[in-house]
Structure 1
Amino acid sequence: MTTPFVWGAATAAYQIEGGVAEDGRGDSIWDTFCRRPGAIADGTSGEVAADSYHRWLDDVELLDGLGVGAYRFSVAWPRVMPSGAVNKPGLDYYDRIVDALCERGIRPFVTLYHWDLPQELEDKGGWRVRDTADRFADYATVVAERLGDRVEDWITLNEPYCSSIVGYAEGRHAPGATEGHGALAAAHHLLIAHGRATTAIRTVRPEARVGITLNLSPAVPANDTPIDRAAAARMDLLVNRQFTDPVLGGAYPDGFEKLFSGVSDLSFRRDGDLDIIGVPLDFLGVNYYYRIHAADAPYDQPDPGLRSASDIGVRSVPRDGVPTTDLGWPIEPQGLYDTLTGLAERYPALPPVYVTENGVAQLRDDLNPDPARIDFITTHLDAATRAAADAPIDLRGYFYWSLIDNFEWARGFGPRFGLVHVDYPTGNRTPRASYEWLRRRIAGL
């Protein structure tokens, strides 16, 4: 029997909910980070965001009108367990959302961690310390026990690369740290958290399907030279294989330790960790936005810091003739094709795959028309379909990012990814032309 292809849309709690001080929710690292002067481009925060905490039913109705079969949303850890104890009103909120989705025949895909670590845990070391992974497993158990009678599809982590390297090394995201050792420890402990949470969910809900979402960007040499090919290989280790190899291959990639030889203390790794990290997946979520055109850049080794890709001797450069989004990201659907076929080639036991995020932002506050977004979705869907035809990939679904405009992390409210326009002063939602176009595509019209 062929598994039906799932159409979906995606959001994340801190980006849309608001209500940060309501019903017992505690501070997250993003609440704290947003208070730091200069951290957010436009000086805003997710304090109100798209006000989905109060308008969640409106958003469910938008999903229903779109005709999707699934909705990927995240649970806010500090809303459910702000200080270790269960906050019942927080769980009740997600319970209502799940009920409303199920009543409309929309499958909930629940992401347990989309970057909003409780600040209390960050104060105790955050992802630098192993105990946070254990606390995450506790949290996963609580949520699975409450929602797992209706939720079958679980995503442990969203984009651990961003949570660790961007958050703990480059400092562009919460918690805004610029550390070498701390960033590598964070990446490792996030993967430990994934493994422990997967086991915890299956313990309380044996029927659950559990996966992880990784943001994957193929690194290609900016020029066909030995030094740029080597730079692309280094970038691939940092961005992609640091996560895919342990999760899907049971080991860190060859050359990884040498790449970070300046970080001499790897004592955060323990015997048996790779068995925890490599627990079999029911599916893999792939977030794809762009390819990285990697060029060699001067750097010194050993260097105990890891603050940007330049610390491994790489810079990302624009490519002549390649169109870009308003954010300057290259638009290359071939990169999604390469990502999917590359996974199948490298990992023979690749589980079923969902494209859990793919989308384009505009910096204009336009409603209609929406041709750039429609073209982006069309070409990337075609690339994913070609990949599934050309390689042994069990492609199960596609989730557009994002259902509605939202707080776009350190960029604030400037970028607009939504199929639905949000007027932030009022919270009013207005579907864009791309919403109607996708509705017709899903309906086969």
Structure 2
Amino acid sequence: MLKFPNNFLWGAAASAPQTEGHSLLNGKSATIWDKWFEMNPEKFNNNQGPSDTSNTYEMYHEDVLDMKKIGMNSYRTSISWARLLPDGKTLNSEAIKFYRSYFQDMLDNDIKPIINLFHFDMPWWLMEKGGWENRESVDDFAFYAKTAFEQFGDLVHDWTTFNEPMVHVECGYLYGFHYPAIVDMKKAVQVGYHTLMAHVMATKAFRDSKVKGKIGIILNVLPAYSRSESSEDLKAKAASDLLNTRSFLDPAVLGKIPEELVDLLSENELLPEVEPSDQQNIKENTVDFIGINYYQPRRVQAPTNPKVPAKMPEDLYEPYDWPDKKINPYRGWEIYPKALYDISIMMRDDYKNIPWYVSENGMGVADEERFMNDDGMINDQYRIDFIKEHLEQLHKGIEAGSNCFGYHMWTFNDCWSWLNGYRNRYGFYRVDLNNHFKRTVKKSGLWFRELVENNGF
């Protein structure tokens, strides 16, 4: 039996835009997803846009009871900025009522809410001003954060500012997967920097608010693995770590941007515009904990045809196709549980052994109905095996002294996933889109209940 620490958090993660639905109802204004779907519905899988998602706005009470049925003691979701402050300034009373009722439901069922402020859902009113390219976004986000702490700080004591900030940088400004689908590394760096400063100033707003609790940030942190130990491949690994991991993790935990990152950006004419007070604010507003989303490793090698100065990340490092990899064919992602152990040791040794938790881990599978039993339950033994393999490595890291306090699966109910819609399913509960969003527990949900009851397996 692998036992986990007392009071370990067992739960799941999701986001407002991927679950709530009612995306242009109940006082909520448009986000980039609402507008992009309106402009280019053909980009979205099966014409599945953000309007319905999993209908949590209407079904949250049932959802919380379902969480309790499978033993969850914690749940991370987000607030919709465009719902709480539809114009960036004016409170939406319906949103306050909805979120307060939702969070109170969790508390009444002994489920700790961990509430995130931004999950890729830029309000359209801010996008029209330039979004994260515009320095005003830093102050706008800090005001939104302050408002959230004031409205819900009596119910919520565990906050995070951003989920995977590198994703909206990469997907929106390098690779075209999110709106505005710009390909411009210089803009991407500026967007990343403004996002970092928005996180810093939201953290400052939290400290200034004096509300009870802790604040962190959720990062898709993973160590890069180089093709070889050659100096060229190791240089590529270092560049990948600087851009993808240390760019947010170092300031959030250590209170400083790595000098090597500044040098790398300078060499490639990519330095962002900054303000004089930024460095001091970064230093003074570090986090209480880190959430780490882990799905796949990053394997890199020296670039074959680098451009100087770099025009894209591939000019600094290229993906390496490891021949021994195990793949999830539905997502095309490598399955490599050992990285969770490596992350554990990295957090212990390089980041002051700060409290951290696995804020997302999961396996997306298409056409799960293939695995449905006669009784209507999906037999997702593959998901159970996936969780076990990762928990074995996490347990090893905890035994080695890493300060990990929880494990959250992506996700609780099958949810809408951006341009992919419902192509891949991740949940402990199946959502039947053709039957009023009916929820049905999967085999993994029942297994998870046993995992929580035993605090191990």
Structure 1 equivalent of residue 297 of structure 2: 291
- Which amino acid letter does the alignment assign opposite residue 220 of structure 1? Y
Q: CA deviation at 1:163?
A: 1.6
3-state SS of the aligned residue for 2:211?
Answer: coil
The answer to whether 1:390 aligns with 2:392 is no
What does 1:4-403 align with in structure 2 at a 5 Å threshold? 4-34=7-37, 35-36=39-40, 38-84=42-88, 85-261=90-266, 264=269, 266-278=271-283, 279-303=285-309, 305-306=311-312, 309-347=313-351, 349-366=352-369, 367=372, 368-391=378-401, 393-403=402-412
Q: Which segment is superposed worse, 286-295 or 168-177?
A: 168-177
Structure 2 equivalent of residue 442 of structure 1: 452
Q: CA deviation at 1:437?
A: 0.2
For residues 290 and 66 of structure 2, the distance between their equivalents in structure 1, rounded to whole angstroms, comes to 26
- Which amino acid letter does the alignment assign opposite residue 299 of structure 2? H
Q: What is the CA deviation profile of residues 142-179 of structure 1, one whole-angstrom value per residue up to 9, with x for unaligned ones? A: 11111111110001111110021222222212332222
For residues 265 and 378 of structure 1, the distance between their equivalents in structure 2, rounded to whole angstroms, comes to 42
For residues 349 and 42 of structure 2, the distance between their equivalents in structure 1, rounded to whole angstroms, comes to 43
Q: CA deviation at 1:256?
A: 2.1
Counterparts in 2 of 1:435 and 1:245: CA distance versus 1, 3 Å: same
Answer whether contact 2:411 2:427 (CA < 8 A) is retained. yes
Q: CA deviation at 1:223?
A: 3.9
Counterparts in 2 of 1:114 and 1:171: CA distance versus 1, 3 Å: same
3-state SS of the aligned residue for 1:234?
Answer: helix
Q: CA deviation at 1:26?
A: 0.6
For residues 275 and 433 of structure 1, the distance between their equivalents in structure 2, rounded to whole angstroms, comes to 50
For residues 311 and 40 of structure 1, the distance between their equivalents in structure 2, rounded to whole angstroms, comes to 30
Counterparts in 2 of 1:33 and 1:295: CA distance versus 1, 3 Å: farther
For residues 82 and 291 of structure 2, the distance between their equivalents in structure 1, rounded to whole angstroms, comes to 24
Q: CA deviation at 1:269?
A: 1.8
Q: Which segment is superposed worse, 435-444 or 223-232?
A: 223-232
- Which amino acid letter does the alignment assign opposite residue 351 of structure 1? I
**TM-score, normalisation: structure 2:** 0.91
Q: Which segment is superposed worse, 86-95 or 196-205?
A: 196-205
3-state SS of the aligned residue for 1:227?
Answer: helix
For residues 366 and 63 of structure 2, the distance between their equivalents in structure 1, rounded to whole angstroms, comes to 22
Q: Please provide the CA RMSD for this pair.
A: 2.0
The answer to whether 1:429 aligns with 2:433 is no
Answer whether contact 1:325 1:331 (CA < 8 A) is retained. no
Q: CA deviation at 1:325?
A: 4.9
Counterparts in 2 of 1:274 and 1:358: CA distance versus 1, 3 Å: farther
Q: Which runs of 5+ in 1 are unaligned?
A: none
Counterparts in 2 of 1:382 and 1:74: CA distance versus 1, 3 Å: same
For residues 288 and 345 of structure 2, the distance between their equivalents in structure 1, rounded to whole angstroms, comes to 19
For residues 187 and 270 of structure 2, the distance between their equivalents in structure 1, rounded to whole angstroms, comes to 10
For residues 321 and 185 of structure 1, the distance between their equivalents in structure 2, rounded to whole angstroms, comes to 34
Counterparts in 2 of 1:285 and 1:275: CA distance versus 1, 3 Å: farther
Q: What is the CA deviation profile of residues 303-331 of structure 1, one whole-angstrom value per residue up to 9, with x for unaligned ones? A: 4743xx42434124243243435211111
**TM-score, normalisation: structure 1:** 0.93
Structure 1 equivalent of residue 375 of structure 2: none
- For residue 417 of structure 1, the aligned residue among 410, 426, 441 is 426
3-state SS of the aligned residue for 2:341?
Answer: helix
Percent identical pairs in the alignment equals 31
Q: Which segment is superposed worse, 399-408 or 218-227?
A: 218-227
For residues 195 and 174 of structure 2, the distance between their equivalents in structure 1, rounded to whole angstroms, comes to 14
Structure 1 equivalent of residue 416 of structure 2: 407
3-state SS of the aligned residue for 1:25?
Answer: coil
Counterparts in 2 of 1:104 and 1:361: CA distance versus 1, 3 Å: same
Q: CA deviation at 1:267?
A: 4.8
Q: Which segment is superposed worse, 320-329 or 128-137?
A: 320-329
3-state SS of the aligned residue for 1:145?
Answer: helix
For residues 274 and 376 of structure 1, the distance between their equivalents in structure 2, rounded to whole angstroms, comes to 41
3-state SS of the aligned residue for 1:185?
Answer: helix
Counterparts in 2 of 1:405 and 1:112: CA distance versus 1, 3 Å: same
Q: CA deviation at 1:189?
A: 1.1
- Which amino acid letter does the alignment assign opposite residue 335 of structure 2? I
Answer whether contact 1:281 1:351 (CA < 8 A) is retained. no
Moved over 4 A (4+): none
Answer whether contact 1:33 1:176 (CA < 8 A) is retained. no
Q: CA deviation at 1:185?
A: 1.1
3-state SS of the aligned residue for 2:425?
Answer: coil
For residues 224 and 266 of structure 1, the distance between their equivalents in structure 2, rounded to whole angstroms, comes to 29
Answer whether contact 2:20 2:55 (CA < 8 A) is retained. yes
Q: CA deviation at 1:299?
A: 3.7
